[in-house]
Structure 1
């Protein structure tokens, strides 16, 4: 799954993929806010030129939850364990804050993403005139959220 603004803080990764301590401390990463602010600042020419266009905002590479966990571990300089949940376990946890039909649909997408949902898009660079930033860089900028 790509590191995206809209679907990878799944909002940056699915809840089931966040490291134990990150899940329990509910980090509020700042990278999303700064990227959103940067996008708002570029609404003038680039954004207006694409009026009516949907931008696919991804990182520079597709990155799995396991690799996201490894990036967090590397930035922290400590072991972080990836904990994969069964569909039933994930459903039970997500159903605490999402309607059942939304949980089922979300798990369908996360469990079997379509090729387009895994694709890396050039849209960040088109809009911001700079390359998309890698997940590891985002983690480094937001390290306090993971401590």
Structure 2
């Protein structure tokens, strides 16, 4: 079996590639910038820009399965070329945002819904992975700490179910390699529903330092992130945070079903990434007042 992994520079794709390669699966790493990939020996890189259909034929040639990021702009062309290439199975990295009652009105959910619908209408067997908030989204906070010394939060009491990216990668590996798991939809979460303040407390425990935060007005937060976050996405996040403020999210056992082990805790992720929050201030450009987003 040959597996094409799109988005190979991403948090999940970059963790999935060595899992597949280490188990002897023929894996092809795809990226819009393949020259910037750091890959295990023996893994081939190929250019596949999900915005550019001209890159699809060479990337998909000979692939039996695909791990696909949810980019809707050229999904019709991608599906058509995957059919032509003889792809038998696609594992889509979707989002739990598609499960919400107002998914069709969410800018974040709409992207994933469009890709899910295109794949559901195709003859290619598809497995949908729907994680909630990535634990790694907390890395956005390091920019705020380095530049302003504090984190701005519109809804400090908003709950999410942060999931370790390695758990997503291991779930994708299982779906790609175990035929009995194919063709289903999995709602992936971390093992705990945590507020932003509880996530910050976990980071404080991991780093041994205080991590200050302050509540800010939603409009002020939206303005602060406007240089790098589209207004529609900011509005979707603000709506989600407002509706989940004080309302714990539902956690699932889907990671354990797929991988055979419980999902890793946010505290585990915090311990692994503590150095990012203790580094010296940086002059590099980056977010200054952002909280974790949903996947």
TM-score range, shorter chain: 0.7 to 0.9
Aligned residues: 132
- Bigger relative contact order, structure 1 or 2, given CA contacts below 8 A and separation 6+? 1
Q: 1:135 to 1:23 in 2, by over 3 A?
A: farther
Displacement of 1:8: 2.2
Aligned runs of 1:37-76 on 2, under 5 Å? Answer: 37-43=169-175, 44-45=177-178, 48-76=179-207
Helix, strand or coil: the match of 2:186?
coil
Distance in 1 (alpha carbons) for counterparts of 2:234 and 2:189: 23
Helix, strand or coil: the match of 1:80?
coil
Gaps spanning 5+ residues in structure 2: where? 1-129, 149-163, 279-295
| Aligned residues of 1:71 and 1:139 also touching (Cα < 8 A) | yes
Aligned runs of 1:1-147 on 2, under 5 Å? Answer: 6-9=131-134, 12-13=137-138, 18=141, 20-21=144-145, 32=165, 34-43=166-175, 44-45=177-178, 48-113=179-244, 118-147=249-278
Distance in 2 (alpha carbons) for counterparts of 1:131 and 1:67: 20
Superposed CA deviations along residues 88-130 of structure 1, whole A, max 9, x for unmatched, are 122112322232222212211121139x981101111111110
Distance in 2 (alpha carbons) for counterparts of 1:55 and 1:117: 20
Displacement of 1:11: 5.7
Distance in 2 (alpha carbons) for counterparts of 1:80 and 1:113: 23
| Aligned residues of 2:139 and 2:276 also touching (Cα < 8 A) | no
| TM-score normalised over the length of structure 2 | 0.39
Q: Which runs of 4+ in 1 moved over 3 A?
A: 9-15, 34-37
| TM-score normalised over the length of structure 1 | 0.72
Helix, strand or coil: the match of 2:198?
helix
Counterpart of 1:27 in structure 2 is none
Bigger share in helix:
1
Bigger share in strand:
2
Return the index of the structure with the highest Cα Rg: 2
| Aligned residues of 1:14 and 1:65 also touching (Cα < 8 A) | no
